[in-house]
Amino acid sequence: MKRRYFIKLSAKSTITAWAGSSVLLHACHTEEDMIGKPNWIVEGSFDTPLIIPQKVSGITSLVAQMSSAKILNGNGSATMAYGNGTLGPTIEAQRGETLNIHLQNNLVDHTNIHWHGLVLPADMDGHPEDLTIPGGSFEYQLPIHQRAGTYWYHPHPHKATAQQVFMGMAGMFLVKDEEESALNLPTGEFEIPMIIQDKRFMGSSMVYMPSDEEIMTGYLGETILVNGIHAPFSSVETRWYRLRLLNGSTARVYQLGFSNQLPFYLIGTDGGLLEVPEKLKSIMLAPGERADVLINFKDLPVGSEIFLESYKFSEFNPQGRQGFKIMKFRIEKVSTDSFLLPLKLSTITKLSSSPATKVRMLDISKLVGGIGSHGSGSRHGINGMTFDNDYSAFSVEKGSTEIWEFDNLMGDEIHPMHIHGVQFQILKRTGGRNQVFAFERGWKDTVLIMPGEKVSVIMTFPSYVGKFVFHCHNLEHEDDGMMLNYTIV
Ligand code: C2O
Ligand code: CU
Ligand code: CU
């Protein structure tokens, strides 16, 4: 693939999207690349009921296949899914069990499954070069040793992850445990999993065809889906609900909040429950991140409607220049519940550094020339390198604690960074927004680093030795090479 880059050194080209970010080091984008072409969201009519993906547990078989779904304009679109239609079932597991999941690949392409957020043996993690051939199958054995939480799964074949996820391959993976059950959180119809994704359509067909510029900014769609439904609604009662929010978009960041500014309570992030609920009016969610939220509709009159929206959050970036509605909640019925918001949810042991803690600098701010077999042309990389399966950037010792610093101080793109094989805690963010937000507490596996920011995370590696990856979860960037191997020894 050939990329075009333009040099334009005008005063204006040094505008950056975020306060605190400094002058651009590389003037490799035009203003239009940087600011992006408007890609305005088309909201839809909010009259299609939300669909909740089917739940499965125990021995499960997932068939990766081409399928079709009616998403826009009544006509079908080709999709890729685990089963029929779009997306896949919600997998439910109990902490302590080992899950057997059979993947049957009926696609014409290689695929695999990565269990995003789960800490698993290297050969079960869905490494980008561990692939199942068309017509082949693979038995995943997943020992679940971690906290209850909202995890997810998706394909991870190098250079094809974005396309396969975009075309519909993804699902929720919920882990339950006793600590969580003791809280009596809303469940059954009062617990709503929501996979939020933006898609681009031509007519009624989803199309994934990023241009060179869109590999920079991310492939932003004009149509927002929840669980594969455009502009859905859900009928709710005047009581507590639990919303499990997942940003399953390839590149779009959302600033989620309600149309009437109704506050909600964040009870969990990527790696499960927080220590205490956080009362919020909005939360920023980057691709790959999850938010476990409680909301009480009790003060809303029957017949009223509120929307989950994404608020505008930036003037300059193609992301965030428009606020838009995502989904409607229609208050349909009075009901009472006895649920009381717990004061304490869980205990999180804070990881602390010692002078001996290894600190790794990871420069995510610069485009790099390809290496080795990758050919020429600038691409997204980390520390000047792009993904090469034969190369492991460094080794870490099992059981050791390290700090990784993702440095985007000089960068002008949005990078949600994700590490496989481990859950981390965010220590600090300098530059840009200059803080760790309440919605970034607890255990995380993905963290958003805006242009002009540097974020430090701390983690203790598990004893699963082998090769894992870390990468940008902007899937256009990831497929472009913004991913490296690291090895646990
Ligand atoms: Cu959800 Cu390696 O990614
Ligand atoms: Cu992952
Ligand atoms: Cu990125």
CATH assignment of the domain containing 70: 2.60.40.420
Regarding the beta carbon of 288 and ligand 1, being less than 6 Å apart is answered yes
Given 112, 135, 168, which residue is the final one in a domain?
Answer: 168
What phi and psi, each to the nearest 5 degrees, are found at residue 270?
Answer: -50, -45
Q: State pTM to two decimals.
A: 0.92
The Å distance, Cα 358 to ligand 1 centre, comes to 24
Given 318, 333, 348, which residue is the final one in a domain?
Answer: 333
The answer to whether residue 231 sits within a structural domain is yes
**Which residue's structure tokens are 């999207």?**
17
480 sits in which H/E element: helix 475-480
How would you list the strands of the sheet with 76-82, edge to edge? 76-82, 60-70, 98-105, 137-143
Among 448, 2, 460, residue whose Cα is nearest residue 211: 2
The answer to whether residue 338 sits within a structural domain is no
The answer to whether residue 15 sits within a structural domain is yes
Q: What is the per-residue pLDDT for 27?
A: 35
Regarding the beta carbon of 114 and ligand 1, being less than 6 Å apart is answered yes
Same domain for 312 and 270: yes
Same domain for 475 and 390: yes
Q: What is the per-residue pLDDT for 39?
A: 65
Cβ atoms within 10 Å of 205's Cβ, excluding its own: 16
The pairing of strands 114-116 and 98-105 is unpaired
Same domain for 204 and 136: no
Same domain for 196 and 114: no
The answer to whether residue 471 sits within a structural domain is yes
Regarding the beta carbon of 110 and ligand 1, being less than 6 Å apart is answered no
Among 105, 214, 113, residue whose Cα is nearest residue 157: 113
Low-confidence ranges of the chain (pLDDT < 50): 1-36, 38, 370-376
In the beta sheet, which residues pair with residue 191?
242
Same domain for 281 and 159: no
Same domain for 154 and 225: no
Regarding the beta carbon of 420 and ligand 1, being less than 6 Å apart is answered yes
| Beta strand segments in 155-301, E | 171-176, 191-199, 201-202, 205-206, 223-226, 229-230, 232-237, 240-247, 254-258, 264-269, 272-280, 282-285, 290-296
The answer to whether residue 342 sits within a structural domain is no
The answer to whether residue 346 sits within a structural domain is no
Same domain for 14 and 163: yes
**Which residue's structure tokens are 């939020």?**
196
100 sits in which H/E element: strand 98-105
Q: What is the per-residue pLDDT for 2?
A: 32
Q: What is the per-residue pLDDT for 9?
A: 25
The Å distance, Cα 419 to ligand 1 centre, comes to 8
Same domain for 201 and 145: no
The Å distance, Cα 484 to ligand 1 centre, comes to 12
Q: At residue 279, what is the residue type?
A: K
Ligand 1 atom with the smallest distance to the CA of 126 is: 2
Cα–Cα dist 113/125, whole Å: 8
Q: Any idea what DSSP says for residue 478?
A: H
Residue nearest to atom 1 of ligand 1 (CA): 116
Q: H-type helices in 153-301, by residue range?
A: 161-166, 178-181, 212-217
> What are the tokens at 210?
């990023």
The Å distance, Cα 262 to ligand 1 centre, comes to 32
What phi and psi, each to the nearest 5 degrees, are found at residue 444?
Answer: -130, 155
Same domain for 159 and 16: yes
Domain that holds residue 450: 358-488
Regarding the beta carbon of 290 and ligand 1, being less than 6 Å apart is answered no
The answer to whether residue 150 sits within a structural domain is yes
The Å distance, Cα 422 to ligand 2 centre, comes to 9
The answer to whether residue 469 sits within a structural domain is yes
Regarding the beta carbon of 418 and ligand 1, being less than 6 Å apart is answered yes
Same domain for 220 and 117: no
Cα–Cα dist 419/382, whole Å: 13
Q: What is the per-residue pLDDT for 37?
A: 52
Same domain for 102 and 132: yes
Residue nearest to atom 3 of ligand 1 (CA): 116
Same domain for 155 and 18: yes
Q: What is the per-residue pLDDT for 217?
A: 85
Question: What is the number of domains present in the chain?
Answer: 3
> What are the tokens at 333?
């019925």
Q: At residue 142, what is the residue type?
A: L
Question: How buried is 316 (Cβ within 10 angstroms: 0-12 exposed, 13-18 middle, 19+ buried)?
Answer: middle
